[in-house]
């Protein structure tokens, strides 16, 4: 790796960093930036990721930053923001040792500010929900084989890493196995198990968790004054950025309708096929992610986890979860999880058949729970 100005020292003035961070995250002018747009400069890691940011800075200081990192964790916790912050800092020609932020004045920072840095690229699906294609990775390999234009690092973010199909993943292996000395690859994954094992093994894996509820609420509440922050956070499975996204448009209303559909099947008021017809207007991945989120809450409730609060579940769901077999529930979750992996990797199943099968499986769970209630 090329020598970086941070290697001179590995200590920051934490008070200065926290002051700058708080100013950016709490002033009214920052609310738009908090939405993690790709043009934000400088990108600042969210408060709950500060410890991970410090770890990265320490590695930079010791010149031990790996050539490939994988940030893995739940969607909506700020992995992309962390990756962009690292990319901007690494590319800066004179980063601040006190604040651990890019200087904002050098040529590299000016290029990053306008999203035109020639040594920084982001690889993602060409269409939402589709796969990252082999042609994209081949073009990336050609890009990495060339010398950086600014004389330092070349940084690449790949998101989501599990969206690479088998051919694309195999094409990336050479860049991971024979990295250039001035290359930093940052893979972002929402499901690390969905990434090919040979790719994972060549990256330094960072498992990033959602913040504690209190910290998430403290960040979210000022940004959703007209909404119930607790409900938003609950539907987003504790992911603050996902909760913020729910606050806009009709996303929260959709979640409530999905919940009502599941409850209607449990109570026998409607059949799985009837609900499948009502859900045809929703995106397949959106439905699958919501089902996984609800299933996670049910498992937590069964295990009496602190993550599950009684009043978060409706009476119908509370009755259901106390009766349904944990074994059957886990089988259902495994099947939905595989389905999500397939969708993220670019699979394009028939939506109607997908929804019907998913809801009929849920109907079987409901029947099993209702048998227990009758016995």
Q: Output DSSP code: residue 41.
A: S
* CATH number, span 5-208: 3.40.50.300
* Each residue's pLDDT tens digit, 229-261: 888 888 788 899 998 988 877 777 888 889 899
Q: Do 5-208 and 249-374 share a fold? A: no
284-302 and 326-344 are packed helices; what angle lies between their axes, rounded to 10 degrees? 150
> Cβ(170)–Cβ(140) under 8 Å?
no
What's the residue count for the chain?
A: 375
Label residue 227 by pLDDT band (50, 70, 90). low
pLDDT at residue 152, as a whole number: 86
Hey, where are the domains in the chain? 5-208, 249-374
User: How does 70-87 read in b/e, with b if 16+ C-beta sit within 10 Å?
Assistant: bbbbbbbbbbbbbbbbbb
Q: In what order do the strands lie in the sheet with 68-73?
A: 120-123, 154-158, 183-189, 68-73, 204-208
For residue 117, pLDDT beyond 80? yes
* Each residue's pLDDT tens digit, 22-62: 444 443 333 222 333 355 889 999 999 999 999 999 998 88
| 18-20-23 Cα angle (round to 5) | 105
Q: How far apart are CA 167 and CA 125, in angstroms?
A: 14
Label residue 374 by pLDDT band (50, 70, 90). low
pLDDT at residue 290, as a whole number: 86
pLDDT at residue 15, as a whole number: 45
Q: How far apart are CA 79 and CA 65, in angstroms?
A: 17
More confident residue, 342 or 273: 273
- Name the architecture of domain 249-374: Up-down Bundle (1.20)
Other C-beta atoms lying within 10 Å of the C-beta of residue 152? 18
Long-range contacts of 369-372 (CB under 8 A, 24+ apart): 369/266, 369/320, 369/323, 369/324, 369/325, 370/266, 370/268, 370/323, 372/323, 372/324, 372/325
pLDDT at residue 318, as a whole number: 86
pLDDT at residue 23, as a whole number: 46
Q: What percent of the chain has pLDDT over 90?
A: 49
- Report the half-sphere exposure of 248 (CA within 13 A, side-chain side): 7
5-9, 41-45, 93-97, 239-243: least confident range: 5-9
């Amino acid at each position: 790796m090329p020598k970086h100005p941070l290697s001179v020292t590995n200590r920051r003035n934490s008070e200065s960093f926290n002051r700058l961070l708080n100013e950016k995250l709490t002033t009214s002018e920052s609310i738009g930036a908090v939405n993690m747009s790709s043009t934000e400069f400088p990108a600042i890691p969210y408060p709950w990721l500060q410890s991970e940011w410090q770890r990265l800075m320490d590695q930079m200081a010791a010149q031990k930053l790996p050539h490939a990192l994988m940030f893995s964790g739940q969607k909506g916790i700020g992995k992309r923001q962390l990756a962009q912050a690292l990319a901007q800092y690494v590319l800066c020609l004179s980063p601040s040792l006190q604040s651990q932020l890019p200087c904002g004045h050098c040529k590299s920072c000016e290029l990053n500010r306008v999203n035109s840095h020639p040594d920084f690229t982001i690889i993602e699906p060409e269409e939402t929900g589709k796969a990252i294609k082999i042609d994209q990775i081949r073009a990336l390999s050609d890009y990495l084989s060339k010398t950086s234009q600014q004389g330092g690092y070349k940084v690449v973010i790949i998101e989501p890493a599990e969206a690479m199909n088998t051919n694309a993943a195999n094409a990336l292996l050479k860049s991971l196995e024979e990295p250039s000395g001035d290359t930093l690859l940052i893979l972002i994954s929402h499901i690390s198990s969905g990434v090919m094992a040979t790719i994972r093994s060549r990256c330094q894996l960072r498992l990033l968790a959602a913040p504690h509820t209190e910290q998430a609420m403290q960040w979210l509440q000022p940004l959703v004054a007209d909404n119930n922050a607790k409900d938003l956070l609950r539907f987003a499975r504790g992911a603050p950025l996902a909760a913020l996204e729910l606050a806009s448009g009709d996303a929260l209303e959709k979640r409530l309708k999905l919940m009502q559909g599941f409850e209607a099947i449990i109570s026998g008021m409607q059949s799985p096929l009837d609900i499948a017809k009502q859900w045809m207007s929703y995106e397949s991945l959106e439905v699958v992610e919501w089902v996984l989120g609800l299933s996670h809450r049910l498992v937590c409730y069964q295990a009496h986890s602190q993550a599950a609060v009684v009043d978060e579940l409706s009476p119908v769901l509370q009755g259901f979860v106390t009766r349904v077999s944990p074994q059957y529930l886990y089988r259902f979750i495994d099947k939905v999880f595989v389905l999500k992996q397939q969708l993220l990797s670019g699979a394009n199943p028939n939506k109607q058949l997908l929804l019907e099968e998913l809801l009929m499986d849920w109907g079987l769970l409901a029947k099993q729970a209702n048998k227990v209630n009758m016995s």
